[in-house]
Amino acid sequence: MLIGIDVYHAKMRFLEKLDVYVQRRSVGAFVAILVNVNTGDYLTSNHVVEVKAKVELFCKAESDSETSSVKSDSNKNSSAVKVIEAPEITREDSLAKFIERSIAEHKVTPDQIIVYRDGVGDSMLDCVSKTEVKQVQNACKSAKLIFAVAQKRIHARFIVDGGQKGFGNPANGTVIEEAVSHHLNEFYLVPTTCSLSTVRPVRYILLWNDNTMPLNEFQSLTYGLCHVYPNWPDSITLPFPTQLAHKLAFLLGENLQSTMVHKNLYTNYFYL
């Protein structure tokens, strides 16, 4: 089972008629891909959850949060009120419930679960370990787990000395493990080709690893998953499941007032 997780934060909007700034609630999305390693066939499930505006760790309870209002500091209208939207309640076990539902939907039990979590900064890694990692383990105790955080908004850049050809970008698929590593299980992956500027790598931090797959195989799998996104013929920045979660969260967070997904769409790629 491959799981992609992402959270979409909507931009603040100014409603001129009401003289108010509105920060819409954030939307978290889960997408699971169940792969039969013998046949190559795969199944999918998806789910979304509303969280308080600008809250990243949506699996941690925001129980019974109420919409709040504070004075805005914007120069546009300093007297305007800023409204921070929040749902009535966010389930603290949303991820665990989603995994349990996905297993029940497809009547299979995964041998291994690999999670790619996007949008987590260094300051929140410990909290993710204590909440989301535990939820995955509790939802399917028999499965081995690899839980990786993917950080794409980073400042690290790598340049290759090409000798007589001069300096240039690393080739796509390049993995950097030891250059600037701060964690035991951390690496940088160059997933795409860039000819106009310095290529941006993606940093992967393994918060949990049951060691059922050698690190070099996991790196190859991660790079391979950047090539199977159906909306783009070349490689993309993030693994396939994480990009799907991003698309789902964006669709429901930006364009729709309600995040209610009909059960008939639970196993459908409707958001593409």
In a domain, 141, yes or no: yes
Distance CA 129, CA 159 (A): 32
In a domain, 60, yes or no: no
Percent of the chain past pLDDT 70, that is, above it, reads 85
The enclosing domain of 108 has a CATH number of 3.30.420.10
Confidence of residue 62 (pLDDT cuts 50, 70, 90): very low
In a domain, 209, yes or no: yes
pLDDT mean across residues, the chain: 85
DSSP 79-113: T-EEEE---S---TTHHHHHHHHHHHHHT---SEE
In a domain, 227, yes or no: yes
Distances (CA, A) of 1 to 4, 99, 225, 256: 10, 9, 13, 29
In a domain, 272, yes or no: no
Please check the confidence at residue 58 and state whether its pLDDT lies above 70. Answer: no
pLDDT (tens digit per residue) in 69-112: 444 444 455 566 776 666 655 667 889 999 999 999 999 999 99
Number of domains the chain is built from: 1
Distance CA 112, CA 176 (A): 25
Domain span including residue 230: 2-6+30-47+92-258
pLDDT (tens digit per residue) in 151-190: 998 988 999 888 878 888 899 999 998 766 566 689 999 9
In a domain, 41, yes or no: yes
CA 230 to chain CA centroid, Å, is 18
In a domain, 21, yes or no: no
Token digits of residue 85:
């939207």
More confidently predicted of 32 and 13: 32
Distance CA 269, CA 244 (A): 9
In a domain, 24, yes or no: no
Lowest-pLDDT range of 53-57, 151-155, 179-183, 218-222: 179-183
200-223 average pLDDT score: 94
Radius of gyration (C-alpha) of the chain in whole angstroms: 20
